[in-house]
Structure 1
Amino acid sequence: MLAPTTFRELYDVVHDHTGPALFSNVLSPWLDKHADAARELLVPLAVCGEWQRTEYVWGDLLEQAYALSRISDLLLLSFQPGLPDGTEPPWAHRLHLPEHEVRVTADEYLSFFSVLGLRQVEVAQFDPFFHEIAAVEQSDDPDAPIEIVAERWPCLMLGEMLFGRAGVTVRAGERLATAGIADRSMLEDTFLRRHRPTNDGSLGWGRNSQWKTDFRRDYLTADAYRFNVDANVDIDEESPFGDEKLTPAERRDLVRHRCAVRRSEHLPQHENPVVDWRLTVPRK
């Protein structure tokens, strides 16, 4: 195979690499050749509203960012447990999970993305903008707030844009985050996790068509959290997708967390509950 130049080509090499030194053999040499161009490519995404798609062009910035996020998801497999015993493998696993171990250290992961202009963000208090629930320790108090117990992988941002949330173990009451739901339900707008099912626009498409998937953009600006800014429908508008049974709180939870976090009579029927909604939450 030719040396990778694009994010998509690098993804293929990372996915197929079977040796023990992924960072030194693949990622570091790639950065030596392509980091400057890749960093410059991503800059327009760093500020909310600076780049907008005016017409579709194959491989535009949203598709490039998506390809880079797939590399991230492969590398994050290093920090995730397997599925619970007896669990049916998710479709994303059958399509994309490598048969071998993908291994990088936390320092290597951060080093790769920091060279591309991303920065680690550490937030002590749980916030679904910054944190993805990877595991739940259930509190005896059903109303106990969600508290971070440990961080499994870091949160990365590119300027104002969220690139990837930190994976965290939390302790919470079941009315706030239910074990087996908040950490095991379908995670939307996400390519791959070792420990849970995921879903994004690439699944089920062919070798080329899957790469027409857009990266979901969330921004933290001076005045607001802006979730899914490229969505076609505001969360308070009438939904054309038949999700009228969801309560306003359930809709907001699904957009903010990207998954169900607690039991609901409405959610089991929804295989893909997060539709094309955008949400703005003013900063306090």
Structure 2
Amino acid sequence: MSSALCVRRLFHAVEEYQGVDAFLAVVDPWLDEHADAVREALSPLAVFGGWTRATYEFGDPLELLYALSRVSDALIYKFQPQLPPGSETPWAHDIHEPERWPHVTRAQYLAAFSRLGMTPIGEAMFEPFFHEVVHVTQHQRPQAPVEITGTVWPGLMFGQMLFNRTGVTVRAGAQHLVAGIADRSPLHEVFMRRYRETLDGSLGWGHNSQWKTDFRRDYLTDTAFHFNVDQEPDPDQDLLGQPKRLTAAEQSDLVRHRCLTRPLQDPHASHRTSQIGRLTIPRT
């Protein structure tokens, strides 16, 4: 059995579990049997430039990693706040009934992924490479920088590659993040969140085809943040693959944050797509 199929079966086992301790009953036994093989299959992805897709094979490292990210999303789901009152139920919620997903502790979550070679993201000032905005408290000064006020779930790295961003609450001036947009607009290239709509390549596909979705790879090197390294830029289109309508700053924010952060200058510009462009930003 391929590693990708093993991870896919783990996701369904977590999805269907109705007991009191999913970690001990489902996750831990699975790790005993499969952790070594999955970690070995993922190992080429740990270093920037260490793996590229020469020819397509079903269940290759990008699809394996996507399946594993779904397991992660299921295990951190209950850490998150619910949809705000009056919100439209996201399509993915209707399909998967995630409120049935089990709760695990922070320690159990970190223990599970440490066995797969992941390491926690440490304490750091706000940086969209590392941090996903769950809630914005608007600072009275528009120019006030983004300040982390709390952690909702832990983030993980796999070597130089980002696996899952840390969920955070923040306080920020409206020049940087606008409450109701930065924490409520659709989140791109993420399978599911409890508190907002998400958009990824699996939505709308069938039972098997949805698992052909690639994991988005972001890397941290000594010199730069590398976002979405598998997406090739098109000089005739914007970073979303659409005719150029977003400003350069809006495109950059969308790639880095995976969502809108402020009102668009052109309210008719399209941003709803499951593929966002490639971007490299030097570290300073």
Q: TM-score, normalised by structure 2?
A: 0.94
- Map residues 9-48 of structure 1 onto 2, 5 A cutoff: 9-48=9-48
| Other structure's SS at 2:98 match | coil
Shift of 1:176: 1.0
Please state if 1:221 is matched with 2:238.
no
In structure 2, the residue matched to 1:239 is 237
Q: Is the 8 A contact 2:70 2:191 kept in 1?
A: yes
Counterpart-to-counterpart distance in 2, 1:90 and 1:267: 22
Please state if 1:106 is matched with 2:102.
no
Q: Is the 8 A contact 1:90 1:196 kept in 2?
A: yes
The percent of aligned pairs where both chains have the same amino acid is: 52
Q: Which moved more, 1:206-215 or 1:84-93?
A: 84-93
Shift of 1:271: 4.9
Counterpart-to-counterpart distance in 2, 1:30 and 1:187: 30
Shift of 1:121: 1.3
Structure 1 residues 9-45: Cα deviation after superposition (integer angstroms, max 9, x where no partner): 1010011111110101001111111111111111111
Superposed CA RMSD:
1.6
Question: Measured at CA, do residues 273 and 140 of structure 1 come closer, stay the same or move farther in structure 2, by a change above 3 Å?
Answer: farther
Q: Is the 8 A contact 2:202 2:211 kept in 1?
A: yes
Structure 1 residues 219-267: Cα deviation after superposition (integer angstroms, max 9, x where no partner): 0012111000000216xx3317434111100000000000001112335
Shift of 1:110: 0.3
Q: Which moved more, 1:33-42 or 1:162-171?
A: 33-42
* Aligned residue identity for 1:238: D
| Other structure's SS at 1:163 match | strand
In structure 1, the residue matched to 2:283 is 283
Question: Measured at CA, do residues 215 and 226 of structure 1 come closer, stay the same or move farther in structure 2, by a change above 3 Å?
Answer: same
Q: Is the 8 A contact 1:202 1:210 kept in 2?
A: yes
Structure 1 residues 59-112: Cα deviation after superposition (integer angstroms, max 9, x where no partner): 100000000000000111021011011111011111223242420000000000
* Aligned residue identity for 2:192: L
Counterpart-to-counterpart distance in 1, 2:120 and 2:171: 23
Q: Is the 8 A contact 2:148 2:170 kept in 1?
A: yes
- Map residues 178-257 of structure 1 onto 2, 5 A cutoff: 178-233=178-233, 237-239=235-237, 241-257=241-257
* Aligned residue identity for 1:239: Q
Counterpart-to-counterpart distance in 1, 2:219 and 2:97: 29
* Aligned residue identity for 1:266: D
Counterpart-to-counterpart distance in 1, 2:171 and 2:154: 18
Counterpart-to-counterpart distance in 1, 2:6 and 2:273: 32
Question: Measured at CA, do residues 268 and 10 of structure 1 come closer, stay the same or move farther in structure 2, by a change above 3 Å?
Answer: farther
Q: Is the 8 A contact 1:157 1:164 kept in 2?
A: yes
Q: TM-score, normalised by structure 1?
A: 0.94
